[in-house]
Amino acid sequence: MQFDGHALPRSNFTSEKEMRMHLVRRLGGTSLLLAAVFLLTACPSQTTISKINADPARYRNKEVAIAGNVTDSYGVLGNGAYEIDDGTGRLWVVTKRGVPSRGARVGAKGRIYTGFNFGGRNYGTVLEETDRRARDK
């Protein structure tokens, strides 16, 4: 029997069952390690709005995730902005896929920008949304 191009020495195994168990452990451990690497590198870290508002330059052009309740929202033709309050502060989120209704609990991820203007209004520091998830209340 072959594994990764290397023959397993039969003398180390007393039975075919032990050899199969060895292969299952090696493959299982490798699969678990790869899954952990993909999960940990694909997700932005969730942060609080107060940390973003306290030091927007630290988060500028970086992808972050926030979660909270929608306190205000404005939308026109699929574009818009909504404000999230996570209990530590409020932050405007701009989107190109419609806005959630007031009172909705959402998680949003995207990039932080400062000096953002939309519809003639300056929103200061905003999160430009790349993904959104609705959460159960």
Confidence tier at 82 by pLDDT (50, 70, 90): very high
pLDDT number for residue 18? 78
Pick the residue with more confidence: 69 or 119?
A: 69
Whether domain 49-134 has CATH 3.40.50.1820: no
* CATH code 2.40.50.140 region(s) in the chain: 49-134
- Count of beta carbons in the 10 Å neighbourhood of residue 123: 18
The encoded tokens of residue 95 equal 């989107």
pLDDT number for residue 48? 92
- Count of beta carbons in the 10 Å neighbourhood of residue 67: 17
pLDDT number for residue 88? 95
* For the chain, the helix, strand and coil percentages under 3-state DSSP, each to the nearest 5: 30, 45, 25
pLDDT number for residue 110? 94
